[in-house]
């Protein structure tokens, strides 16, 4: 599995999905750039999420709030005081570790040692969860020491005490000398939604229950940055805050838990690859929380969080801003009286776009053995990316560069390119061109040959089955459209 993961990382680079940031300067840790295929795939995942939220739910609207926000936002939200993780430093190597990541990395090593190691790792993680839930730093340090958790250098490790480390990046707005000018790069997109709650509710005339969706960049000064785009310092979130009547949050929490799993399954991913993980330790704002986990090549890990955030955020914004954050509910309760004024409760769904991207790569990547017509075997690397989010939908390939075939191909290209992303190529043997399209996940290739000139038919090749069929050229567009809708 580790090999598979390394293969995916190299493939992502070789085929223009993901590059290390500023690579010519040897990269920047935990920051990545998306290449031509990557930026298309990322956009398609974002659009697929956006459509499912704002188009398929008539009670959800979108916004696009700024990354910079008034500094008091992060006081009110609790991030200045609470958005931190327990850290420990190794005094010898001067390296800093997030305590949970250090223990998890150690557990991953144990797991490699067969059943016995697997059990030890399970016990270790369970004990860590309990200690983290109690903020028991002495216990955690003890756990690190008794397990002789290695810090990458030989001999015993000389650890500092465990302490909290805030994950927010700060910067200066305007003049750099004054303390008051410190602002933060948002560590989550959610606060842009909370501070706009009444603006949106009033202007879009929303009635509770309703949701506000947003996608955008978030920044966290993650200490241990591992696992490629799984944990980045600059990443993108797709969040939806759903505002509900107090007392109904449990019901909506369960609704969104199922609804979000359905979204994942709608991409054709097997249910067995997912599981729910309830949080033992709740964040400072939550009364219930769970992760939707996916089985990445490096194990089951969080891809999305569902959080019941109570009225924590709106209540605090009301307190800090001195502006009422209330909603007037004129629906009638069981006594026939309007529910009246209240601060709504919030259930949120929060998914990392980059993490979803990694999920798609992990799910799609296959090194497949194939038997050719003459009985010999061969292999191909294919990305089974769902057609609706594939970077390119159709490759148009004239068999030769002459005899008028490129002209016919260009005609087809011009007919299709307004409806979906097409790719045109006339160089190299057709087999080679097919392989390149397999490697970037293009679901359909169409070949224009000499017969096309006579009867206006083309060969369409299906990526996953590699089946080829002869069809009228006039049918190509509708076949592709049917597969991507
Ligand atoms: P983790 O425990 O992995 O640090 P989290 O529980 O802090 O994640 P949330 O605050 O719930 O994450 O954020 C919601 C989603 O945002 C996560 O499910 C994940 O998909 C994504 N996310 C969070 N941090 C990062 C990161 N550093 N890089 C990429 N995606 C991230």
CA 440 to chain centre: 19
Q: 221 among the known binding-site residues?
A: yes
Partner residues linked to 306 by β-bridges: 290, 349
Residue 131 dihedral angles phi and psi, to the nearest 5°: -70, -40
pLDDT of residue 153: 43
Residue nearest to atom 13 of ligand 1 (CA): 350
| ipTM (interface pTM) | 0.97
Instruction: Say how many Å lie between the CA of residue 249 and the centre of ligand 1.
Output: 22
Q: In terms of CATH architecture, what is 2-69+168-360?
A: 2-Layer Sandwich (3.30)
Q: 452 among the known binding-site residues?
A: no
Q: 234 among the known binding-site residues?
A: yes
Tokens 């927010």, residue located: 168
Is 354 touching ligand 1 by the criterion CB < 6 Å?
yes
Tokens 């216990």, residue located: 139
- Spans of all domains in the chain: 2-69+168-360, 392-484
Partner residues linked to 90 by β-bridges: 95, 159
Encode the chain (485 residues) as per-residue pLDDT tens digits: 779 999 999 999 999 999 999 999 999 989 999 999 999 999 999 999 999 999 999 999 999 999 999 999 999 999 998 888 899 988 887 888 889 888 988 888 888 888 888 899 889 999 998 898 888 999 999 998 888 776 554 456 788 999 988 899 999 887 656 555 789 999 999 999 999 999 999 999 999 999 999 999 999 998 766 689 999 999 999 999 999 999 999 999 999 999 999 999 999 999 999 999 998 778 778 899 999 999 999 999 999 999 999 999 999 999 999 999 999 999 999 999 999 999 999 999 999 999 999 999 999 999 999 888 888 999 999 999 999 999 999 999 999 999 999 999 999 999 999 999 999 999 999 999 999 999 999 999 999 999 999 999 999 999 999 999 999 999 999 999 999 98
What residues contact residue 9 under an 8 Å CB cut-off, 6+ apart? 18, 228
What residues contact residue 286 under an 8 Å CB cut-off, 6+ apart? 279, 307, 308, 309, 310, 312
Q: 466 among the known binding-site residues?
A: no
Q: Which of 45, 355, 356, 357 to mutate to test the pocket of ligand 1 (most atoms within 8 A of CB)?
A: 355
User: Which CATH code is given to the segment(s) 392-484?
Assistant: 3.40.50.800
- What spatial distance separates the first Cα and last Cα of the chain, rounded to whole Å? 33
pLDDT of residue 155: 52
Is 260 touching ligand 1 by the criterion CB < 6 Å?
no
pTM: 0.91
What residues contact residue 245 under an 8 Å CB cut-off, 6+ apart? 208, 209, 329, 339, 342, 344, 345
Instruction: Say how many Å lie between the CA of residue 293 and the centre of ligand 1.
Output: 12
The CA distance from 142 to 308, in Å, is: 33
């Amino acid at each position: 599995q580790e090999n598979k993961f390394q293969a995916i990382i190299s493939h992502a680079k070789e085929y223009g999905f993901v590059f290390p940031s500023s690579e010519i300067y040897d990269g920047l840790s935990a920051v990545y750039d998306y290449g031509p295929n990557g930026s298309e795939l990322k956009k398609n995942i974002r659009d697929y999420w956006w459509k499912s939220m704002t188009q398929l739910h008539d009670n959800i609207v979108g916004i696009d709030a700024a990354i910079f926000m008034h500094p008091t936002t992060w006081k009110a939200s609790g991030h200045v005081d609470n958005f931190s993780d327990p850290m420990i430093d190794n005094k010898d190597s001067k390296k800093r570790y997030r305590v949970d990541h250090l223990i998890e990395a150690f557990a991953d090593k144990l797991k490699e040692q067969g059943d016995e190691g697997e059990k030890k790792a399970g016990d270790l993680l369970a004990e860590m969860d309990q200690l983290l839930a109690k903020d028991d730093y002495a216990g955690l340090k003890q756990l690190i020491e008794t397990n002789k958790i290695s810090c990458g250098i030989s001999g015993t490790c000389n650890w500092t005490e465990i302490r909290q480390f805030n994950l927010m990046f700060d910067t200066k707005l305007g003049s750099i000398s004054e303390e008051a000018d410190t602002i933060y790069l948002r560590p989550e997109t959610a606060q842009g939604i909370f501070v706009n709650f009444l603006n949106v509710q009033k202007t879009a005339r929303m009635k509770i229950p309703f949701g506000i969706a947003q996608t955008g960049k978030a920044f966290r000064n993650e200490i241990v940055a591992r696992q490629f785009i799984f944990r980045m310092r600059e990443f993108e979130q797709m969040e939806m805050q759903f505002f509900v009547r107090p007392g109904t949050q449990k019901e909506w929490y369960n609704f969104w838990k199922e609804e979000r799993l359905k979204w994942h399954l709608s991409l054709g991913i097997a249910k067995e690859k997912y599981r729910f993980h309830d949080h033992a330790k709740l964040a400072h704002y939550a009364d219930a929380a769970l992760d939707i986990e996916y089985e990445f090549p490096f194990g089951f890990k969080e891809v999305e969080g569902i959080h019941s955030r109570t009225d924590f955020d709106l209540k605090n914004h009301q307190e800090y801003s001195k502006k009422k954050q209330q909603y007037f509910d004129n629906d009638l309760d069981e006594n026939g009286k309007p529910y009246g004024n209240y601060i709504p409760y919030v259930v949120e769904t929060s998914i990392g776009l980059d993490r979803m991207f990694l999920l798609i790569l992990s799910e799609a990547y296959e090194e497949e053995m194939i038997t050719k017509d003459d009985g010999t075997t061969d292999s191909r690397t294919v990305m089974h990316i769902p057609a609706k989010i594939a970077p390119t939908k159709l490759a148009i390939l004239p068999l030769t560069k002459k005899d008028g075939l490129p002209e016919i191909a260009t005609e087809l290209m011009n007919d299709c390119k307004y409806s979906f992303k097409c790719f045109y190529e006339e160089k190299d043997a057709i087999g080679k061109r097919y392989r390149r399209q397999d490697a970037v996940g293009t679901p359909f290739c169409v070949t224009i040959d000499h017969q096309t000139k006579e009867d206006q038919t083309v060969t369409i090749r299906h990526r996953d089955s590699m089946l080829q069929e002869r069809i009228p050229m006039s049918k190509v567009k509708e076949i592709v459209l049917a597969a991507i809708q």
